[in-house]
Amino acid sequence: MIKFKNIQELIALANEKKVAIYDIVEQYEAEVSQVPVDKIINTMKQNWKVMREAVESGIQNQDKSASGLVGGDAKKMNDYLGDNGKSYAGNMPLKVAAYALAVSEVNAVMGRIVACPTAGSCGILPAAVLAGAQHKNCDEDKIIHALFTASGIGMVIAQNASIAGAEGGCQAECGSAAGMAAAALVELAGGTPEQVGQAVALALKNLLGLVCDPVAGLVEVPCVKRNGFAAVHAMLAADMALAGIQSVIPVDEVIDAMYKIGLALPKSLRETSEEGLANTPTARAIEKNLYGKAK
Amino acid sequence: MRGVFDIIGPIMIGPSSSHTAGAARIGLMARKILGEEPLQATIELHGSFAQTYKGHGTDKAIIAGIMGFATDDERIKDALSIAVSSGLKYQINTTDLGAVHPNTAVIYLIGKAGRMTRIVGASVGGGNILITNIDGYDVELTGQYHTLISIHHDRPGVITKVTSILSKYKINIAFMRVSRKSRGAEALMIIEVDEQISDDVLEETKQVRGVANSFRIPPI
């Protein structure tokens, strides 16, 4: 029976059996769910198909959300990056940001997405994996492997901290998604299990304390654009880990810190839209306009 | 620990797992409980559902569920106009139910053959739901299991007879709850099980003396 209760144990299991993290995660899922590995892989392929379609449709999206607050920014970003030499950040970061905006916009306009780990953070992982796989010419098998590695990381974070904004703030949603995306990118690049762990630590550390303060209670502002930022963030974390940079604080201690920070965050900044950006004059005006009265 | 597909998944229509996907599942559950094609629906939204339903498409999602659409069905977005064209009359109201879960909806349905039902359901996070009341009976129904619901006369022996039928067919009970309006009156039994409930099982439970009706709901 395969068991792991933190990332260190996941890495140790992979090293001990001389396999990758995704192998351990696939075997774990097969044992727990009593479903053969090939079926589990097929389910992941279906998820990947939906993720890819969301990027492709989102990048062209011109629809606005029901509130009118978001829609059309992925296309703007994509058009801008095609305009060679204009940008500061360069092609790759802008591409991953455009992809993440795309999926998040599809979510906001009631399109089909894969929650990963949540709907509010659904753009980060597909964006990183698609942009990363295009860059490294990875086939679908490699992509599926990367998704299982990401999932294993998310499972540990959900167990030892949280993946719900209402419990842990946005660090639990976009933070976790960035950690998962960083792990996937290291896997796509053929990094070691240790480098996967380092990338997760680096990505999570730098999103700690992020609050969940959505304007008018909707998964739109700041969520959609934050997906774009967090995807770039994940890519930088993966590159740092692949360059051999190490987090001074080990990954499981970072996750533990994230959990405690979540507990310390006031309820007003955990998806209740009472404080933060949700309580700015502009946000309250938007809310009044949408619902006819202030909350 | 959660599974792989709790982290990457489910495939769903956005924007919110609780306010859209969960809402659709409450609607779908209401349809299954009615057990026939719904012709009329009245929906009351409470709390956060009432406040934010327009931005989250909660109204569309519940109507979509009532029409039988799954949580990943792209028609959810157009559910209100599809309802009009397919002859489902609906009404959406907001309400204050007091100290219940903030994402709660009350759904009244009238079906093609005249059956009526009233259910209360809450979307409790991540697309998970809890049906808390059916036709005045307090229940706890998640929609994650094959479920047998029976309405029976509250008297000794009925429950044993129904559960012994399940036992005979080697159906394992995961959760079970019995509620009644008053002693000796009509009672409701909800049994969530691990295996599929066949036609034979359903028919046998209907034959039990004291059982007025029983029906089954597949996992949604």
Closest residue of chain A to B76, computed from CA coordinates: A110
Q: Cα(B133)–Cα(B145) distance, rounded to whole angstroms?
A: 17
Range of the domain at A37: 7-291
Average pLDDT rounded to a whole number, residues A8-28: 98
The percent of residues in chain A predicted with pLDDT above 90, rounded, is 95
Interface membership of A242 toward B (CB under 8 Å): no
**CB-neighbour burial class of residue B156 (10 A; exposed 0-12, middle 13-18, buried 19+):** exposed
**Torsion on CA atoms A275, B20, B123, B9, rounded to nearest 10:** -100
- A2 found inside a domain: no
Based on the structure, what is the number of domains in chain A? 1
pLDDT of residue A294: 43
- A31 found inside a domain: yes
With beta carbons less than 8 A apart as the criterion, state whether B13 and B63 touch: no
Q: Cα(A66)–Cα(A190) distance, rounded to whole angstroms?
A: 42
- A55 found inside a domain: yes
Quick: pLDDT tens for A127-181: 999 999 999 999 999 999 999 999 999 999 999 999 999 899 999 999 999 999 9
pLDDT of residue A216: 94
User: What is the nearest CA distance from A262 to chain B, expressed in angstroms?
Assistant: 17
Residue B56 token pair = 């989250």
- Tens-of-pLDDT digits for all 220 residues of chain B? 889 999 999 999 999 999 999 999 999 999 999 989 999 999 999 998 998 898 999 999 999 999 999 999 999 999 999 999 999 999 999 999 999 998 999 999 999 999 999 999 999 888 889 999 999 888 889 898 999 999 999 999 999 999 999 999 999 999 999 988 888 888 999 999 999 999 999 999 999 999 998 989 988 8
Report CB contact under 8 Å: B56, A116.
no
- A269 found inside a domain: yes
Mean of pLDDT over chain A: 96
Closest residue of chain B to A42, computed from CA coordinates: B5
DSSP letters, B77-144, are GGHHHHHHHHT-EEEEEEE--SSS-SEEEEEEEEETTS-EEEEEEEEEETTEEEEEEETTEEEEE-SS
Considering only CB atoms, B76 lies closest to which of A110, A122, A217, namely A110
Quick: pLDDT tens for A213-258: 999 999 999 999 999 999 999 999 999 999 999 999 999 999 999 9
- A186 found inside a domain: yes
What is the tally of helices (H) and strands (E) in chain B?
A: 7, 11
Closest residue of chain B to A6, computed from CA coordinates: B1
Judge whether residue A84 has pLDDT over 80.
no
With beta carbons less than 8 A apart as the criterion, state whether B201 and B165 touch: yes
Domains of chain B: 4-135 (3.30.1330.90), 146-217 (3.30.70.260)
User: What is the nearest CA distance from A95 to chain B, expressed in angstroms?
Assistant: 22
Under the banding of pLDDT at 50, 70 and 90, the label for residue A293 is: low
Q: Cα(A1)–Cα(A27) distance, rounded to whole angstroms?
A: 9
With beta carbons less than 8 A apart as the criterion, state whether A123 and A179 touch: no
Residue A37: which of A45, A46, A26 has the closest Cα?
A26
Under the banding of pLDDT at 50, 70 and 90, the label for residue A292 is: confident
ipTM: 0.96
pLDDT of residue A206: 97
Q: pTM for the whole thing?
A: 0.91
- Degrees to nearest 5, angle at CA B70 with B64 and B72: 105
- A187 found inside a domain: yes
Q: Cα(A113)–Cα(B181) distance, rounded to whole angstroms?
A: 43
Strand partners, B177: B190
Report helix, strand or coil for B68. Answer: coil
Among A112, A157, A291, A293, which would you mutate to test the B interface (most chain B Cβ atoms within 10 Å of its Cβ)? A112
Q: Where are the alpha helices (DSSP H) in chain A?
A: 7-16, 21-33, 37-58, 73-82, 91-108, 124-136, 140-160, 165-168, 170, 176-188, 193-205, 223-242, 251-264, 281-291
Residue reference for tokens 């589990």: A40
Judge whether residue A16 has pLDDT over 80.
yes
Closest residue of chain B to A65, computed from CA coordinates: B55
Considering only CB atoms, B51 lies closest to which of A112, A154, A291, namely A291
- A1 found inside a domain: no
Among B1, B4, B103, B123, which would you mutate to test the A interface (most chain A Cβ atoms within 10 Å of its Cβ)? B4
From residue A208, alpha-carbon distances to A175, A256, B71 in Å are 7, 11, 32
Contacts of A209 (CB under 8 A, 6+ apart): A169, A171, A261, A265
Judge whether residue A295 has pLDDT over 50.
no
pLDDT of residue B74: 96
pLDDT of residue A82: 83
Tell me the chain A residues in contact with residue B11 when contact means C-beta distances shorter than 8 Å.
46-47, 50, 112-114
Closest residue of chain B to A148, computed from CA coordinates: B4
Judge whether residue A28 has pLDDT over 70.
yes
Tell me the chain B residues in contact with residue A113 when contact means C-beta distances shorter than 8 Å.
11-14
Q: Cα(A227)–Cα(A125) distance, rounded to whole angstroms?
A: 9
CATH number reported for the structural domain that contains residue A176 in this entry: 1.10.4100
